[in-house]
A = this chain, B = another copy of it.
Amino acid sequence: MKILEDKILAEGRILPGPVLKVSSFLNHQMDADLIMELGKELADRFRADGVTKILTIESSGIAIAVAVGAALHVPVLFAKKHRTSNVSGVLYQTLVHSYTHGTDYTVVVEREYLKADDRVLIIDDFLANGKAVEGLLDLSAQAGAAVVGAGIVIEKGFQDGGAQLRASGLRVESLAIVDSMDENGIVFRES
């Protein structure tokens, strides 16, 4: 999506890792107008799929998820990071590995908000190793809900999360896919 790629080129910074720092418009400071526009685009890509629920993970997925939910007029559920793994029977829980922090953390959703008759669209700001999406797939599977796909703002195409998820049969739509980023700049995958 050209406006997103242009914004990444204008404001993104490459940090060691490599990390693509886009905290001027996506995941710390947020360009609300742009996020609403990105949400509409993701909504359009899944408009024919009978989505009944948007599922994301706190915190940086919430803004784009609400934008998609507003465009599709469906509720948005965000999985919460939980302090302990000792949670009650009213919750579905799963473990997500964070490469950034080198730790595992538990995320939960309340069972009453995710049901077997839901058609779930997973939304997140970034896709790299795919661990967050896998966690949201697991929560959906526990509920018996169908997942119609995953909508992502920026995919790091040089990490294998997107490829693995697509190989598993999941439909993954990413608004920008970064195939490489280094001292020579950022190269996007042709859409």
A→B interface (CB under 8 Å): 23-25, 28-33, 35-36, 54, 58-59, 62-63, 66-67, 69-70, 73-78, 80, 109-110, 112-113
Question: What are 20 sample pairs from A and B whose C-beta atoms fall under 8 A apart?
Answer: A23-B113, A25-B75, A28-B78, A28-B109, A28-B110, A29-B77, A29-B113, A30-B66, A30-B69, A30-B75, A30-B77, A32-B70, A32-B75, A35-B70, A36-B70, A59-B59, A59-B62, A63-B63, A63-B76, A66-B67
Let me know if B109 and A76 touch, CB within 8 A.
Answer: no
Let me know if A76 and B32 touch, CB within 8 A.
Answer: yes
Number of copies: 2
Apart from A30-B66, A59-B80, A62-B66, list 12 A-B contacts with CB within 8 A.
A25-B75, A28-B109, A30-B69, A30-B76, A31-B75, A32-B70, A32-B73, A36-B66, A36-B70, A58-B59, A59-B78, A62-B63
Alpha-carbon gap, A76 to B36, bound state (A): 12
Rank and list the top 3 A-B pairs by shortest CB-CB distance, nearest first.
Answer: A32-B69, A58-B59, A32-B70
